[in-house]
Chains A and B, each alone.
Chain A
Amino acid sequence: MASDPQSAANQRIVEDLVSRLRRRQVVGSRATALETLLVLRQVISKARFSNIDQLTDVIRSVGRRLVEAQPKEHSVGNTVRKVLHHIREEYHTASGPPAVESSFSIAKFVLQGQPRRQTVIPKSEARVPLKENDPDDPDSFARVLKPVLMEAIQDVFDELETVYDNIAKNAKDHIHSDEIILTLGMSKTVQSFLKSAAHYRNYTVIVAETAPSFGGREMAKSLSSAGISTFLVPDSSIYALMSRVNKVILGAHAILANGGMFATSGSLLAATAARSYSTPVVVCAGQFKLTPLWNLYHEYGALDFGDPSAVLGFEEGDLVDKVDVVNPYYDYVRPELLDVFITNYGDHPPSSIYRLLKETYDDEDNEL
């Protein structure tokens, strides 16, 4: 199969993304999810397969390599899982008898009453009988299935494209007039959420600047330019100001199966401080951040480390040799510290994340 020119082309695309992930040229959950999806679309369109298992094997092996390239970008694996899930769904609708209306779904349950596209419109295309492992024409299976798969991938694309809008559309129900919101770091999801709420409400945002990346400064600039009254404070004053804060809104890097999350370092401090004042903590995150992983053994978020020179630069030359410098990217925030996840599939408490995961991915893909 490696001699196949098409699969060689696939190899190239995959290797390209692998190296960019390794070099951190692609960072951020949404960016990596989009890139992964692009690669998967190419791979599927070029892949040769004559039954569903061959197809999933191809995708899984690509997924494995991408995940190994950068295990901390969980949305890569999530996108692969999601695509696999969609492929199986399409395969079942295309082959078997029309599936019975799926059992109770918590995502649909929460969304009920909202005019959304949650009901899958049955595809009424002329059904070509799907034949697996046809000895006469081994490509027929792929030929029939590929257009449907492309459509399914397009759906995932559309979802990623609209994820910020879909999360932000209910922002006004969460932020009320004259509230004081605390946030930190630079999260595009939170940014669009807050800006959307600003169309309806007058409120104040306190942004912790989140050293050493200072993503909070960027966030404060962006929010204030949208006309939101913004205060930029150092991370050290989160606790002092918390007594006046009505709500903490955070972004997530990955949502875990137990309802906890990985998020920009500083999030755990803010969430813990919020709990000591009984301030609600709201997390805004797209569904592609749902990760079927557990973090039971890491009490702390020392999972990935950034550049120490951002913390203690070479201008402190004599210290650099003698001192260990720690600069972790992420915190692990326990589910007890969080109140709600606002996703593009409705609002969920941390305790129902496991259920959402079951609906989003197939169990067999948890380990790619």
Chain B
Amino acid sequence: MSSSREGAGGADGSADGPKSRGLRIFSHFGLPKTPGHQIKGDIHPAIIKLGLQFSEFKICGANARCIATLTAFKTVIQDYVTPPHNTLSRHLMTHLSPQITHLVNARPMSVTMGNAIRQLKLEISDSDIDLPEQDAKDELCQKIDNYIRDRIIIADEVIEDLAVKKIKEGDVVLTYARSSLVEKILLRAHSQNKHFSVIVIDSRPLLEGKTLLHSLTSTIPPIPCTYALLPALPSLITDADVVLLGAHSLHANGSVYSRAGTAMVAMLAKEHSVPVMLCCETYKFSETVMLDGFGKNELAPVKFSPGAPKSNSNLEVLNPLYDSTPASCITAVVTEVGLIPPTSISSIPLALGRTTL
């Protein structure tokens, strides 16, 4: 109990003493992790580095975190030596588990990482016992490379092709914060000499939209951009022809777990009959059901709110990172298997062949 209260109490460490009423409803929010947290057990240096990058938000975003994790695991696997009287297929996972725990302690695991790790576990347990150790490790690394290539890189290219077709000449595309995929789509459309302009809506705590602005305006010629914070959205949504959004994960009931604020952009777009296209690779699908953005969330570290007043016994500064958009606000999900309604997510793993997922 006391530790969970401390969790919502922020990183100031003053969790003891009388905390404000109503705190308990927020107590399940993920604790903002302090960098340099304890290292327990035999942690590979690559993982320690990655943990710091995660907790400092140097590597941020579902795709980036998944790729970074898998790449780090390749190093871990190559440096791994199977102890005597053990087999790689049985023992490697016990070696990887503390590494994963370390990453989760740095920042709660993303759905993408969870899916990729589950796949990795499957591959490890399937690896041939009779294979020489180095060959088995090479084979695993190859499989990791294939996963990154197939499920992320190639998937993104297919999604780019599909989504670019939906941007018509003269369109105004509205997007929220920064999704690496949406960024690639916009740059691809621009490289095909389509003329369109972009409205970037942004909000604290992370203000990731500024990064997107930098990359959109550094093209030649620059893409015409409008930038505004979330409260200004109602003034701009009427100008938009299409809304492109990214996702952290997509759940079985069709709700979209994404950067906080996404839900309101989708809600307002729906109200103004602007189509909302969610760009999302199939490896972001999760079999769990998400009913609202409150049950599962994560708090941004205090360093992202420099101007905010300090928390005290009556005042608590919370920076939730995610929210959940109901399926009803999404017009279509652009995946590498085509454009589908958000409620058909559960049929996709079958379409892909369950065993390879």
Contact = CB atoms under 8 A, between A and B. Distances in A.
Contacts of B210: 312, 316, 319
Interface in B207-247: 210, 213-214, 217, 222, 224-238
Interface stretch (B76-84, B104-112, B124-132, B259-267): B259-267
A231 B203 contact: no
A319 B324 contact: no
Contacts of B20: 204, 229-230
Given A235-B204, A244-B294, A327 B229 contact: yes
B21 A240 contact: no
A230 B217 CA distance: 40
Contacts of B324: 240
A229 B293 CA distance: 22
Interface string A297-334: 00111100000000110001011001111111001100
Contacts of B237: 300
A209 B229 contact: no
A102 interface: no
B267 A300 contact: no
Given A180-B22, A239-B267, A326 B236 contact: yes
A202 B22 CA distance: 10
A328 B204 contact: no
A234 B203 contact: yes
Given A241-B320, A244-B294, A272-B267, A311 B227 contact: yes
Interface stretch (A76-84, A263-271, A344-352): A263-271
Contacts of A214: 307
Contacts of B224: 324
A276 interface: yes
A119 to B, nearest CB: 42
- Main secondary structure on A side of the interface with B: mixed
Interface stretch (B32-40, B56-64, B67-75, B311-319): B311-319
B202 to A, nearest CB: 9
Interface residues of A, number: 58
A231 B322 CA distance: 17
Contacts of B232: 265, 311, 326-328
Nearest to B291: A243
A241 B263 CA distance: 11
Interface in B316-345: 316-320, 322-324, 326
B231 A269 contact: yes
B352 interface: no
Nearest to A239: B263
B231 A240 contact: no
Given A235-B261, A273-B264, A227 B314 contact: yes
B204 A236 contact: yes
Nearest to A325: B227
Contacts, number: 187
A239 B264 contact: yes
A237 interface: yes
Contacts of B322: 240
B323 A237 contact: yes
Contacts of B267: 239, 272-273, 276
B25 interface: yes
Interface residues of B, number: 57
A224 B312 contact: yes
B205 interface: yes
Interface string A158-197: 0000000000000000000010100000000000000000
A227 B323 CA distance: 29
B312 A272 contact: no
A238 B264 contact: yes
A232 B222 contact: no
A254 interface: no
A362 B26 CA distance: 51
Contact of B204 (A234, A273, A323): A234
A212 interface: yes
Contacts of B264: 236, 238-239, 269, 272-273
A265 B227 contact: no
Given A204-B22, A231-B26, A322-B222, A300 B234 contact: yes
Contacts of B23: 229
The residue among A214, A217, A237, A299 with the most chain B CB atoms within 10 A of its own CB is A237
A237 B318 contact: yes
Interface in A190-234: 202, 204, 209-212, 214, 217, 220-221, 223-225, 227-234
A30 B318 CA distance: 32
Contact of B315 (A224, A273, A332): A224
Nearest to A184: B231
B286 interface: no
A301 B323 contact: no
Contacts of A266: 230-231
A332 B238 CA distance: 13
B292 interface: yes
A234 B231 contact: no
B231 A230 contact: no
B294 A323 contact: no
Nearest to B319: A234
13 contacts: A180-B22, A221-B309, A229-B314, A230-B20, A234-B204, A234-B320, A239-B323, A240-B324, A273-B264, A299-B238, A322-B222, A327-B228, A328-B235
Interface of B: 20-23, 25-26, 203-205, 210, 213-214, 217, 222, 224-238, 259-261, 263-264, 267-268, 271, 292-294, 297, 305, 307-309, 312, 314-320, 322-324, 326
Given A232-B315, A269-B233, A272-B271, 15 more contacts: A180-B22, A229-B23, A234-B260, A235-B231, A237-B293, A240-B320, A240-B323, A241-B320, A243-B294, A269-B231, A269-B268, A276-B267, A302-B235, A319-B217, A324-B226
> Lowest 5 A-B CB distances belong to which pairs?
A236-B261, A266-B231, A240-B293, A204-B22, A240-B323
